[in-house]
Amino acid sequence: MLSAFPIDLKSDTVTKPSAAMRKIMSEAEVGDDVYGEDPTVVLLERAGAQLLGKEAALYVTSGTQGNLVSLLTHCVRGDGVLIGKDSHILNYEGGGLAVLGGMVPLQVDDAKSLPSIEELERVMPAKGNVHFATAKLLCIENTHNRGGGHASTPQEVASLVGWAHENGLSVHMDGARLFNATVALGVTPAEMAKDVDSVQICLSKGLGAPMGSLICASSDFIDRARYWRKKVGGGLRQVGVVASAGLYALENNVARLKDDHDNASLIKDVLQKGGLRVFEVARATNMVYFSAKSETDADKLLAACRAREVIFNKTSSDTFRLVTHLDVSRAQAQTAASVIVEEYRKLG
Ligand SMILES: Cc1ncc(COP(=O)(O)O)c(C=O)c1O
């Protein structure tokens, strides 16, 4: 029998391709994708565009590259980008928008989900004043990673996009975990992406592919994004080998995200009953943020759980994040939660 350990909850990026996924990969038809000749990539891009209700899609290496290429396509040097202060693009993507695109991040309080219209109006630079960068783009994130995996609704997105378009801004959605949001809310991916101008979705998070993301948008936008993908070194050759895993993931691993959400909810309940402080998240998905009593306790708890092969990460001196995914079963979720509570109690 396979051991239940290790139980790796540090991210949903740690999933490994299943036997069925590897079989599909070994049989994938391939060609040179820079020439547009990889039939599997063409199929994946069509499937992604259709699912997201957009005219076209572009296969890119990662979520970071998908966001960067999208932003480079929307903006020119010196343009202002309204962006959440807690967003992944701003905090965890090496400042690529500023380094490679010369864009000016205009930080808004995203309050662990979407910014309010009042907040956007507060930060939006006045037009026709040479002192200010001209704002051209609003970036939003759904689900929101630092927001504990909170899912925003299509109605909330529509209201922000309405404001952005009235003010001459385009909107890009970082939908690294868009399918977690749609499964949690019971809406289609197309409904979620309907109003935004571009969206980036990751195939390598909860969906379980080894790599890759799709940018979905209008045909004109994707034609221009293709140039940027090449410039940042993202033009790949016989990449159908991994694109096939992305197709498999879209076809087989979306609906099952509900299991991950149920497992996260189970862990949250066990931790709460065990006396740990768990952060409440409305419309939660596959993440649980919780904290120890002190920084020292946090280090001890992390180490004790790691010694028992229950792995999760710290996000600040005394706060942890764990993420459920398709390589963690219900029984493993239960076991991990019990181990955390046992070790927490030993700290006294
Ligand atoms: C919200 C969000 N956006 C973008 C990314 C970047 O994806 P990648 O790691 O594929 O570059 C991540 C990665 O975890 C993420 O959580």
> Does 180 have pLDDT greater than 90?
yes
Contact 232, 100 (CB under 8 A): yes
The model's pLDDT over 77-90, given as tens digits with 9 standing for 90+, comes to 999 999 999 999 99
User: How do the domains of the chain map onto residue ranges?
Assistant: 19-252, 256-346
How many whole angstroms separate alpha carbon 97 and alpha carbon 40? 30
Mutate to test the pocket of ligand 1, among 59, 64, 323 (most ligand atoms within 8 A of CB): 64
Domain 19-252 falls under CATH 3.40.640.10:
yes
* pLDDT average, residue stretch 50-70: 98
Distance 264 CA to ligand 1 centre (A): 19
Taking a C-beta distance cutoff of 8 angstroms, is the pair 175, 199 a contact? yes
d(CA 337, CA 331): 10
207-231: pLDDT as tens digits: 999 999 999 999 999 999 999 999 9
Tell me, what's the pLDDT at 1?
A: 56
Helix, strand or coil for residue 102?
A: coil
Confidence of residue 2 (pLDDT cuts 50, 70, 90): low
Residue 309, sorted as left (phi over 0), alpha (psi -120 to 50) or beta, turns out to be left
Nearest CA, atom 4, ligand 1: 63
DSSP single-letter state for residue 133: P
Using alpha carbons, select from 99, 56, 52, 68 the residue that is nearest to residue 234.
Answer: 68
| Alpha-carbon gap, residue 199 to 212, rounded angstroms | 14
Give the position, in ligand 1's atom list, of the atom nearest the Cα of 64. Answer: 11
* Rounded Cα gap, residues 321 and 270, in angstroms: 15
pTM: 0.98
**Using one digit for the tens of pLDDT, what is the confidence trace for 251-291?**
999 999 999 999 999 999 999 999 999 999 999 999 999 99
Q: Between vectors from CA 199 to CA 198 and to CA 201, what angle results, nearest 5°?
A: 155
* Element holding 71 (H helix, E strand): helix 63-74
Helices and strands in the chain, H and E counts: 14, 13
Gap from CA of 156 to ligand 1 centroid (Å): 22
CATH superfamily of 256-346: Aspartate Aminotransferase, domain 1 (3.90.1150.10)
Tokens representing residue 156 in the block = 């909330």
